[in-house]
Chain A
């Protein structure tokens, strides 16, 4: 079964590479969805079936739909792709990529020099996860609930569509000027 693990890992890496290099936002989103499904496969092979389910249902199902809705709302299409093609030049991405590659090479050397050896992943059942979640990590669950509540209220507040008014005094001045203008016109 190791071959399934390596295939899923390769798919995840290739799909992620495609995400960060595509010009069209919708293509990048679809590649990210493939990458998330590959992650779910990896989780399942590591014996974490509950995490795999959550990855598919919440990440690939809910969060990606949110992204796709925003891309639809903003009407990002060919013009965005053209703009991205203009922005993504070689001299822009080669420096950061090289530096990140250096950091990853350091990480590689450090991890490979530890010498842990192979193991068979232990299957951790959803029951164990639930018991741990609602016993030892109960306070974390409550904090996560508060975070989600704050995020919902915050998103509803930020996303409200209102007219651009720089400052209320400026708005009054603009109105006064308009009144003056109208009086002059009359």
Chain B
């Protein structure tokens, strides 16, 4: 049942998924897709944590994954509430339309 994998492959997989998340955040202009890409990045970091925990046989990796999960849930709820408000006020999800924040 136990596969024998090398830790490099797992960490490289996590890095690849994280890079894909970064690309998604940068190239998209729709704010929902940016939030989705942030979720991808959080998942990739969780994968790295779990891989490290399984490498040393310690539960700390999964504990950190639980914390990441709680943080992601909080972030998604706040982010989606903000998206709803933005859509009601601007009738658009284009981040270029939010210039009044002067950010």
Evaluate contact between A92 and B27: CB separation under 8 angstroms.
Answer: yes
CA distance A109 to B5 in the complex (A): 19
- Interface hub of B16, B33, B81, B93 (most chain A Cβ within 10 A): B33
Q: Which of B6, B26, B33, B88 contacts A161 (CB 8 A)?
A: B88
A39-B43, A96-B23, A155-B81 given as contacts; is B69 within 8 A of A111 (CB)? no
Chain A interface bracket (under 10, 10 to 19, 20 to 34, 35 or more): 35 or more
Evaluate contact between A2 and B59: CB separation under 8 angstroms.
Answer: no
Within 8 A of B (CB), among A45-65: 45-48, 50-51, 54-55, 58-59, 62-63
Q: Which residue of B lies closest to A96 (CB)?
A: B26
Evaluate contact between B32 and A48: CB separation under 8 angstroms.
Answer: no
Is B101 positioned at the interface, with any CB of A under 8 Å from its CB?
Answer: no
Residues of A within 8 A of B15 (CB): 104, 107-108, 111
Is A152 positioned at the interface, with any CB of B under 8 Å from its CB?
Answer: yes
CA distance A103 to B40 in the complex (A): 17
| Contact bitstring A71-99, B, C-beta under 8 A = 1, else 0 | 10110100010011001100011001100
Residues of B within 8 A of A121 (CB): 2-3, 5, 54-55
Is B98 positioned at the interface, with any CB of A under 8 Å from its CB?
Answer: no
Q: Which residue of A lies closest to B72 (CB)?
A: A63
Evaluate contact between A119 and B40: CB separation under 8 angstroms.
Answer: no
Q: Is the interface of B mostly helix, strand, loop or mixed?
A: helix
Evaluate contact between B13 and A120: CB separation under 8 angstroms.
Answer: no
Residues of A within 8 A of B77 (CB): 66, 151-152, 154-155
Q: Which residue of B lies closest to A42 (CB)?
A: B47
CA distance A80 to B32 in the complex (A): 11
Evaluate contact between B2 and A59: CB separation under 8 angstroms.
Answer: no
Residues of A within 8 A of B88 (CB): 161
Q: What are some 27 contacts across the A-B interface (CB < 8 A)?
A: A16-B17, A19-B24, A20-B20, A20-B28, A35-B40, A35-B43, A43-B50, A46-B50, A46-B51, A48-B50, A51-B66, A54-B66, A58-B69, A74-B83, A74-B93, A80-B30, A83-B30, A87-B30, A119-B5, A119-B6, A124-B59, A124-B62, A144-B70, A147-B70, A150-B74, A152-B77, A164-B89
Could you tell me which B residues sit within 8 Å of A by CB distance? 1-13, 15-17, 19-24, 26-30, 32-33, 35-37, 39-40, 43, 46-47, 50-51, 53-63, 65-67, 69-78, 80-85, 87-89, 93-94
